[in-house]
Amino acid sequence: MIKGKTVLVTGASRGIGRAIAVEFARLGYRVVINYRKRDGEARETLRLVEEAGGEGLLAKADVSDPVQVDGMFERVRESFGGVDILVNNAGWGFLSPIETMDDGLWERHIRVNLNSVFYCTRRALPYMISQGWGRIINITSIAGLRGLAYLSAYSAAKAGVIGFTLSIAQELRGTGVTVNAIAVGFAKTDMGLSFFRALNIDLEKFKKRYTLTGDLVDPADVAGLAIYLASDRARNITGSVILVDSGQMLAYDPTGLVGGGD
C-alpha cells in the first residue's frame, strides 16, 4: 500500500515527529510535514525527507486551531488528494504544581495535546473511509497511563488521547481504518530532556534506576513502530496502546529503592 500513499505527521519539525517523517520518506511515502512556528527546523525536516527519497510538503498550521486544521487539510487535498496515514504527534508539556497552574496553562495543554488529535482525525477520516483503508497513529505518553507529578494537565490530556483512540477504533469497525496509540516514555528529545534539567535530575542515575534497558527512548524507536502500524502487516492491530518506554512503566519505583542505589 506504499505507492502513492500520503502520510501527515503533526509536530514534525523536530524530535519524534521528524524521525517519523524521515522514516516514512525512506520507504517512498509522500510526507506532509506539519509544524507551528519553527520554520528553520521544518525546512531541515523537509531536506531530510527529500534526501531520504521522499516527496515532502511543508504545512504550517497550529493544529490546536480547527480553522487552521481545515486549511491544512484543504492544501493537502489540492496537492495529494487526501491523507492515507495520520500521525498525531504534536504535543507540549510544561511543569507546574497544580496549586499554581492557571486556567490558560491548563487549557493550552488540552488544546495542543488532545484537541489537535480530534481536529485532525475528524478531517482525515472521510477520505480514509471512502477508500476503505487508512491508518491513524496517535503519539501519547506513559504520563497518560500513570500520571506524572507536576504534569497534571499533560497527563490528563495524554490520558484523553488514549481514551479517544480506544473509542474511535470501535467506531471504525469494518471500515479498513485502524487506530492505535504509541505511549512513549522519557525520550531523547528537546522536550524530554528539558524535564530533567528543570527538575535537576541526574540523567545517568535516572536511566539506571528507572529504566529496564539503561537508556531513554530514541525517536527512531518510535518511528520504527509507526512504520509497522501503518503497514498491511498490522491490519489486524487496532485499538491498541503500545509502550515504547525503555521499560519505564515497570521500572518505576516511587520509593527510589530499585536500581542498586547511587
The catalytic position among 154, 210, 228, 252 is: 154
For the chain, state the CA radius of gyration: 18
Nearest to 49 by CA among 172, 223, 195: 223
Decide: helix, strand or coil at residue 64. Answer: coil
- Contact (CB, 8 A) for 162 and 183: yes
228 in catalytic set = no
What letter represents residue 249's amino acid?
M
How many angstroms separate the CA atoms of 146 and 30, rounded?
36
| Cα–Cα distance for residue pair 149/162, rounded to 1 Å | 19
The type of residue at 84 is D
| Ramachandran quadrant class, 11 (left: phi over 0; alpha: psi -120 to 50; beta: rest) | left
The residues assigned a catalytic role are 154
